[in-house]
Each structure stands twice: as C-alpha cells, then as structure tokens.
Amino acid sequence: MIGVSPAYFICRYGDRFSPEHVISGLKDLAQLGYQALQLEVYHADSITLWTSSGFARIISAAGGNNLVVSQCVAHLLLHAFADEATLFSPWGVAEAAAISAALPPDRCPVLTIPVPAFDVSAAPVANAGAWRRIEDRFEEKLSAMVSEIEQRGLRVALEVMPGSLVGGIQGFLRLCERLENRGHDKLGFNLDTGHAWASREPLGLSITRLQGRILGTHLCDNWASENLSLAPGSAGIDWPPLLSTLSSAGYSGSFDIEIHCPADQVLDQYASARLFLADISAQNQIKEPA
C-alpha cells in the first residue's frame, strides 16, 4: 500500500487547509493510484475544526474512495518542545488528549508527535545540570502526552527532526527505555527519510535498529546537506536497499510519500513518485505493505 503524507494537501491548499479541502482532494488521490492518506492538525487554533467533525467526515469520505487513513500527524504539538519556555509550560498535554479522543483507533491507529529542533538562541543553556533538567522535563511531558493518547487506544509515534531533544535514532531508543520505566513500552517511530538523511543517519542501519518500532513513514529525498522533502528518486537516497531493508525489518504499514512542491506540480510529482516506488517494489520483489 502506498499513500501520502499531509504534505500533499499542504502543497495543494496551503497549511490552512480544511477538512473540505482534504475531502475534495481524495478523488484525485485515488485516481493517481494511491491507497492511503494521513490526517493532520497543523495549527493550534484549528483543533476544534478537526475534532468536532472534520476527522469523521474525512474518514468516511476516504472509505468511499477506497482509501484508508494510516495515521494522524499532530503537527501543532511540535510547539510543546520548541524551546525551554514551551517545554516547561503545560501546553500540549490537553491538546494531545483532545486530538486523540476524536480519532477512532480502528480507522486511524497512530498519532504522530513531531519533535522539532530545540531552540536555545533566546536563552542559551550553559551547564550540564540545566541540560539534565531539560531532558527530564522532556521525558515527563512526553510521558503525559503518551498517557493521554494510549488510554484512547491509539499508538504513539515520534517524528524526529534534526537537532531535536530526542537526539537521533540512538537517542530515540534510549528514550524508549526511559519511558518504559514510566509504563510506556509501545512508543513508535515515524520514519521521515528526509529528516534521518539530513541528520547523517545511515538509513539502513537506522531502520534495522528501529525494528518493530516503525509505525509509519514520510518517504522523501534530499542530498543530506539540507532537511528537504524532495520526491523519492530525485536526490541522494538509494531507494532499492532502503525499501528492501524496511520490508525485511518487519514494517507492515503504508509506504507514505512526502513531497513539498509548488501547487501546480503536485499531481505530476506525486504520480511519478508513486510509480517510482511501485516499480522498485516490483523489480526487487519487495512486498508493499498491505
């Protein structure tokens, strides 16, 4: 199964896209041969728009177009971890609860929390004790969010951006161990190949280390010098071994593509990208996730 990340809708309609925009774009998505899509709440002031009826209407319309929802990306929650001030605020926990409460686990099983680069420009952190305090607070706040989401029957995945408090793949695995001590043993990972490649992560090794934890994907390309979301096959990532490793590591979710491009190029770029991944899967006998 091949799907799209929310970037498909952002590029077509802007980051203020609405449930109506998503629903209007589903027919084109299905005609391009896609089978899945991701939901997203981008702005904090739009939570009610999505949770009151937006998610439900999209999920219903997706079924009518033979599309499934692979996950929801709570983009707005990255602001809970952006800097020291937001990290130590209570903001984000109630918002995570509100979003997850509106998602039926049988129709949208995963809620992804992005973790952004941590900004210290306004208030530099100058000693090890302060950094330990920040790390402890990060784990405490994330644990509170995970508790709210998991009790509603959803899995939680992190989308780790370069420079975040998570600290790459090894940092994520260490975080998993620490959260297990808080009662959370199912923390997952949303594999954004662009973020990982821009962090200079060996992608195949990262996937292998994450075995069993990858719950979703944002498949995009770049040259590892900038954190870009280019069409798969248009830059420096070697896709056949990446997809083969992802499959052999037991990933069974959707291959969801993420491309940021001008609105007038969306349909062409997403059409080409789907064919690119489908051809690799066929030529290398890689079974697409069901």
What band does 290 get if pLDDT is binned at 50, 70 and 90?
Answer: low
Contacts for 164 with CB less than 8 Å, ≥ 6 apart: 81, 115, 116, 117, 118
Residue-wise pLDDT tens digits, 109-140: 999 999 999 999 877 888 999 999 999 999 99
Q: Could you tell me the pTM of the whole model?
A: 0.95
pLDDT at 287: 67
**Mean pLDDT of the residues in the chain:** 95
The answer to whether 19 touches 37, Cβ cutoff 8 Å, is no
**Locus of tokens 């199912």:** 186
Residue-wise pLDDT tens digits, 78-110: 999 999 999 999 999 999 999 999 999 999 999
Q: How far, rounded to the nearest angstrom, does the alpha carbon of residue 108 sit from its chain's CA centroid?
A: 13
Q: Which domains does the chain have, with CATH numbers?
A: 2-283 (3.20.20.150)
